[in-house]
Amino acid sequence: MMENFVIIGANSFQNRLILKAKEMGLRTHVFAWECGDIGEKTADVFYPISITEKEKILEECRKIKPCGIASIASDLAVITVNYVAEALHLSGNAYKDSVICTNKYAMRGAFAAAGVPVPKFLKVSAPPCREALAGFRFPLIVKPTDRSGSRGITKVACFEEIADAVHASVAHSFEKCAVIEEFIEGDEYSCECISYGGKHSFLAFTKKYTTGAPHFIETGHVQPSDIPERYAEGIKRDVFKALDALNIRVGASHTEFKLDADGNMRIIEIGARMGGDCIGSDLVYLSTGIDFVRAVIDTACGRAPDLTPEHGAEKATIRFIFNERDISEFEQAKRDPLKHICYVSDMESENMGAVTDSSNRVGYYIYTEQL
Ligand SMILES: Nc1ncnc2c1ncn2[C@@H]1O[C@H](COP(=O)(O)OP(=O)(O)O)[C@@H](O)[C@H]1O
Ligand SMILES: [Mg+2]
């Protein structure tokens, strides 16, 4: 008899998971707010229940009796995944730990308690007084405790700039709080891993390109990264220690960090899920040949993942389009015989304009090149 598999979320990223689960012979049960997303049609059974309605989803899952439950690239969905997994004794991380992973302040606290180096940090709900920031070294970063996608984030150079930045972060925050933390210098990367039974396997380092200060909007990602070989093993050790600090024992993870010129790494944040922006769902497979999406389903079903590469290593890039200049670079890439364009998203040209957060994106494309 066909086994049942539950997926939380139905948008185009989650669709990769739905299609892979079907390819693996599983019957897919997909939960999401009904809004015309692709997964509503590709699912074997679709349930129009919002991904945050964890009690209602659990009730349905008791009837479905799935062999596993998963989601990719959404922190909110991960909370529901682990809530249901815990209640039904399925493979997953502890519910209380997944809540920590969605709050930047709680995460900093967990790192500090486990001896993972963190920048000085402070939680506020209103602009702090000068004394509250005694000992903090400027520049600082101010960000909402519980949002993503670079919303409401500002780098501030001096105390006078703090108030506006805090107001902006608090306005974006669901719990109306902001974290103020010291700015970490260096280039920005992420580390993609899969864990099973508390053992972590490294898959890839990703180099991240952003617009830089003041808002740090992501403009593209490349695998493999340009991290010098001599730093790689030390960074992996630090990442694994940070995953342990958050008690991430099973499934995908995406660890964002900065690396300075002397090889010192500092963690920005960890998601107990694949990296969004196609990092997990596409780039890892294209650059390493390892089927990361299949591995997520395997670990969610309580099986060790098969990490055998299906093809040789390549360089894989995703580029986001914000303006006319990006569009002409895209046209050039299409003509470049050394670049193989693998995927082009829909283009929403009405988004074109000022770049203030990742919702200003017009679209994106993915390409590979020989290493
Ligand atoms: N302490 C910090 N030091 C330097 N840059 C930071 C710091 N915190 C955040 N950033 C920058 O802001 C970006 C978004 O912050 P992050 O905490 O990852 O929030 P989000 O959930 O929006 O991705 C990071 O990718 C990084 O470029
Ligand atoms: Mg981030």
Three-state DSSP string of the chain = CCCEEEEECCCHHHHHHHHHHHHCCCEEEEECCCCCCCHHHHCCEEECCCCCCHHHHHHHHHHHCCCEEECCCCHHHHHHHHHHHHHCCCCCCCHHHHHHCCCHHHHHHHHHHCCCCCCCEEEECCCCCHHHHCCCCCCEEEEECCCCCCCCCEEECCHHHHHHHHHHHHHHCCCCCEEEEECCCCEEEEEEEEEECCEEEEEEEEEEEECCCCCCCEEEEEECCCCCHHHHHHHHHHHHHHHHHCCCCCEEEEEEEEECCCCCEEEEEEECCCCCCCHHHHHHHHHHCCCHHHHHHHHHCCCCCCCCCCCCCCEEEEEEECCHHHHHHHHHHHHCCCCEEEEECCCCHHHCCCCCCHHHCCEEEEEEECC
Residue 196 has pLDDT above 90, yes or no: yes
CA distance 317 to 222: 4
- Confidence band, pLDDT 50/70/90 cuts, at residue 53: very high
Residue 150: pLDDT over 80: no
Per residue in 280-327, pLDDT tens?
999 999 999 999 999 999 999 999 999 999 999 999 999 999 989 999
> Best mutation site among 138, 173, 268, 356 for ligand 1, i.e. most ligand atoms within 8 A of its Cβ?
268
- For residue 341, pLDDT over 90 is answered with yes
Which percentage of the chain shows pLDDT scores above 70? 98
Q: Would you state the pLDDT for residue 355? A: 65
Domains recognised in the chain with CATH numbers: 4-90 (3.40.50.20), 120-182 (3.30.1490.20), 187-369 (3.30.470.20)
CA gap 218, 279 in Å, rounded: 12
Look at residue 268 and tell me whether its pLDDT is greater than 70: yes
What's residue 228's pLDDT? Answer: 95
Atom 21 in ligand 1: which residue has the minimum CA distance?
Answer: 148
- Please tell me the least confidently modeled range out of 30-39, 42-51, 222-231, 343-352: 343-352
pLDDT of residue 134: 94
Determine the distance separating the centroid of ligand 1 and the alpha carbon of 268, expressed in angstroms: 6
C-beta of 107 in contact with ligand 1 (< 6 A)? no
pLDDT category at 34 given cuts 50, 70, 90 is: very high
| Residue-level pLDDT at 358 | 67
Q: What sign for the dihedral angle of Cα 166, 167, 168, 171?
A: positive
pLDDT at 97: 94
pLDDT in tens, 70-79: 999 788 899 9
Nearest protein CA to atom 15 of ligand 1, as residue: 150
Per the document, the length of the chain is 371
Q: Which pLDDT value is given to residue 25? A: 98
Model confidence at 356: pLDDT above 70: no
Q: What is the pTM for the complete model shown?
A: 0.95
pLDDT at 177: 97
d(Cα 81, Cα 70) in Å, to the nearest integer? 6
Task: Report pLDDT for 210.
Answer: 87
pLDDT, mean of residues 182-195: 96
Q: What is the pLDDT of residue 357?
A: 67
Ligand 1 pocket test, candidate residues 211, 216, 217, 359, most atoms within 8 A of CB: 216
Q: What is the pLDDT of residues 77-129, one digit of tens each?
A: 999 999 999 999 999 999 999 999 999 999 999 999 999 989 999 999 999 99
Q: What residue's CA is closest to ligand 1, atom 14? A: 150
Is residue 147 over pLDDT 70? yes
The CA distance from 247 to 96, in Å, is: 10
Q: Is any atom of ligand 1 closer than 6 Å to the C-beta of 298?
A: no
From CA 31, how far away is CA 47, in angstroms rounded? Answer: 5
Closest CA to 248 of 93, 367, 144, 113: 93
Predicted local distance difference test score (pLDDT) of residue 211: 83
* pLDDT more than 90, % of the chain: 88
Residues 198-249: pLDDT tens digits?
Answer: 999 999 999 999 887 777 788 999 999 999 999 999 999 999 999 999 999 9
pLDDT attached to residue 148: 84
CA 255 to ligand 1 centroid distance, Å: 12
* Cα 109 to chain centroid, rounded: 20
